[in-house]
Structure 1
Amino acid sequence: MTGFVRRLLRIAARPMKRDRGRGGYIVHPYRGYGSRHEAFLMGRVFRQAALGEVIPRYGVLRDLADVVRRIFRHGLPEVDVKVSLGENVATVTTDRDGYFDVHMPLEAPLPANSAWHHAELHVVLPGVEPVQSFTEVYIPPAEADLLVISDIDDTVMYTGVTNKLRMLHRLFVKRAHQRMAFPGVAAFYQALHVGRSGKARRPILYVSRGPWSIYEMLEEFFQLNRIPVGPILFLREWGISWRKPWPRRAEDHKYDLIQHMLSMRDELPCVLIGDSGQHDPEVYTRIVHKYPERIRAVYIRRVERKPERERAINRLRDEILHTNCNLVLADDSLAMAEHAFRQGLIAAEGLEMVRRESDR
């Protein structure tokens, strides 16, 4: 078995490691986001098989057994999930595959001195002990004056989305410390986070085309590269099931997802950051048409130089010239930062920090 296949097998098995082979019923929530008035989070309730004593705790055989357990993981439909966030409580029911979405009005205020808030989840099933879990929900502070929404793949870190084999290699084989952040990204996002005052604490939300199984790896990558951490939301669920043994076909619901993000603070202006390799310019232009007064800038990282693609992006740029928003097709983070400084979005110190980091 080649090293590449072994690494893919290890990654596919990784989500199963937490239960140490015990199996049973699990509620798996993802980090949520919201405003002072409402919160959103999602997750899944499922049952997975246990491992016997005869299978070694480590090695290829154990990884293979965990992948089989993942294939036969069974989502639990029509299960009630009780979610508590502070004194706010909501109960939702899972769909036919065990997934649930929570939209919780916040009738009881959350502490204003914190941006991250602890949510607890409880599931009661007949004949078994109650299943519990927890997650964090991000609520922007009151002093935030800008919302930043950023793609990850080929925007924050290089994954080679335009080359599918290279993307899979970087997603599934490279470890967090081996993944490559674009020069100046950390400094630029730090500058956007603190704003001109240096104390703005602006929310930065991230979206990715990757699977949920790389969630922890992305968080580690952000910390290693000093990139401001925020909720990470994925545009597809690559979960494996017996009925759907391959990743689910991605539907381009980034537009709807960004609208959810914008709903956190109706009055908050926004900056959108993406890359030229996929559909970011098209999706972001639709958002500008829908919210022409709110979107301050669209930054698109140039990841390939195809004349036809660049002409298409330039046409999109011209479509929104009548708004207050500029679409900037940029070669690097410094070009984005220079425009952001001219627009009053970051401080001079932030621009200089991006320039120094880009020159390394």
Structure 2
Amino acid sequence: FTDVYIPPEDTDLLVISDIDDTVMYTGVANKLRMLYRLFVKPAHQRTAFPGVAAFYQALYVGESEAARRPILYVSRGPWSIYEMLEEFFQMNAIPVGPILFLREWGISWRRPWPRRAEEHKYALITRMLDLFEDLPCVLIGDSGQHDPEVYTRIVKEYPGRVKAVYIRRIDSQADRERAIEGLRQQIAHTDCELRLAADSMAMAEHARNRGFISESGLQAVRRDSRDDSD
């Protein structure tokens, strides 16, 4: 990156969020549609999940509403969509932080799909945790791919660092939900709770209970969710 982000000395929380099907609807489960949305759709035609902007704004300013927390975003997409993502964030009033891409796609006719990203995501997030040393963090992802597995592994390997894992439910497959419940139980003895959330409001309510966001931030998510759904 040409810009170097240095968080304030009193920063109390690091937020690391997936983008695809977490912030922005991508449809990763359908690869052809995903490729169309990643490469073709302009920013103004892309859809943010209801309440996302207010929730991330609330996380950014914290319970005191004076914090300036670092928010890092990770994407499965290629570097070529960076400017589109930045424009999408600005159009939707989502706090813009560093956008980190998981891999070089290396697409060819012999290999039309990008390489697997799970290990890249794990390596990238753990590098960020090492970079920010002892700063606690919140991880946000979705149920459609491997976020719950990757995040649970990180919770185990960085005891006490991850304070919450928010997983957006993007479908209602019983087998997948059972698997995620199993992951939740694996870390139930820790200070970190894995929440499978139906929407941004469910995440925000938990974040408010844990003191990650303010009451006015929670109400803003409620209003934002309602307005986006109309």
TM bracket, shorter-chain basis: over 0.9
Tell me the amino acid that sits aligned with residue 258 of structure 1: I
Say which SS state the counterpart of residue 180 (structure 1) adopts.
coil
Say which SS state the counterpart of residue 154 (structure 1) adopts.
coil
Q: In the alignment, is residue 331 of structure 1 matched against residue 204 of structure 2?
A: no
- Please point out which of 181, 192, 198 is paired with 2:48: 181
- The residue aligned with 2:82 is 215
Tell me the amino acid that sits aligned with residue 332 of structure 1: D
Say which SS state the counterpart of residue 263 (structure 1) adopts.
helix
Say which SS state the counterpart of residue 200 (structure 1) adopts.
coil
Deviating above 3 A after TM superposition, structure 1's stretches of 4 or more consecutive aligned residues are: 239-242, 244-248
Say which SS state the counterpart of residue 180 (structure 2) adopts.
helix
Say which SS state the counterpart of residue 299 (structure 1) adopts.
strand
Distance in 2 between residues matched to 1:270 and 1:229, nearest whole Å: 17
Distance in 2 between residues matched to 1:355 and 1:190, nearest whole Å: 13
- Please point out which of 151, 155, 169 is paired with 1:284: 151
Tell me the amino acid that sits aligned with residue 261 of structure 1: M
- The residue aligned with 1:250 is 116
Offset, 1:255: 1.0
Residues 84-163 of structure 1 mapped to structure 2, 5 A cutoff? 135-163=2-30
Q: In the alignment, is residue 321 of structure 1 matched against residue 188 of structure 2?
A: yes
Aligned length, in residue pairs: 226
- The residue aligned with 1:261 is 128
Query: Is 1:143–1:201's contact at 8 Å kept on the other side of the alignment?
Result: no
Distance in 2 between residues matched to 1:250 and 1:264, nearest whole Å: 24
Offset, 1:238: 2.1
Structure with larger Rg: 1
Tell me the amino acid that sits aligned with residue 316 of structure 1: L
- Please point out which of 295, 301, 305 is paired with 2:172: 305
Q: Larger relative contact order (C-alpha < 8 A, sep ≥ 6)?
A: 2
Say which SS state the counterpart of residue 82 (structure 2) adopts.
helix
Query: Is 1:184–1:334's contact at 8 Å kept on the other side of the alignment?
Result: yes
Distance in 1 between residues matched to 2:94 and 2:149, nearest whole Å: 26
Q: In the alignment, is residue 346 of structure 1 matched against residue 213 of structure 2?
A: yes
Distance in 2 between residues matched to 1:212 and 1:255, nearest whole Å: 19
Say which SS state the counterpart of residue 131 (structure 2) adopts.
coil
Offset, 1:137: 1.8
TM-score by length of 1: 0.61
TM-score by length of 2: 0.94
Higher strand share: 1
- The share of aligned pairs that are identical, in percent, is 72
Tell me the amino acid that sits aligned with residue 281 of structure 1: P
Unpaired runs of 5+ residues, structure 2, are none
